[in-house]
């Protein structure tokens, strides 16, 4: 995605970065109308496609997540619902990353440092 890179996936990262650039420009352009524009950036989400990769794959994903759990579509929906709410009316041009903390550790062996 736009936060971390992965070999062979430059096109994917570039497309996500472009979407975020578009979102920020739209936020600036639409602010005069009191319209907010934000992004939700999910990490791994427990969908049928991800589940089809098998339990070993899911365990590997969980092992690199500080929260130790894979997000659900419901988790993503709650973030989108918040951004669409009146309570989020002063938030614009921002990205909420929903990844269980995946981008936080500096090393893959972060759990052994505890």
- Find the catalytic residue in 6, 12, 33, 57: 12
- H, E, C per residue of the chain: CCCCCCCCCHHHHHHHHHHHHHHHHHHHHHHHHCCCCCEEEECCECCHHHHCCCHHHHHHHHHCCCCCCCECHHHHHHHHHHHCCHHHCCCCCCEEEECCCCCCCCCCCHHHHC
Note if 33 is an active site residue.
no
Catalytic residues: 12
């Amino acid at each position: 995605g736009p936060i971390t890179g992965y070999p062979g996936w430059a096109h994917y990262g570039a497309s996500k970065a472009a979407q975020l650039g578009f979102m920020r420009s739209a936020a600036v352009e639409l602010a005069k109308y009191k319209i907010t524009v934000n992004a939700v950036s999910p990490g791994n989400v427990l969908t049928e496609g991800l589940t089809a990769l098998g339990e070993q794959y899911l365990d590997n994903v969980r092992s690199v997540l500080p929260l130790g759990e894979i997000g659900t579509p419901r988790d993503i929906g709650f973030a989108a619902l918040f951004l669409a709410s009146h309570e989020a009316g002063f938030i614009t041009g921002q990205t909420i990353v929903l990844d269980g903390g995946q981008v936080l550790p500096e090393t893959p062996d972060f759990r052994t440092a505890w």
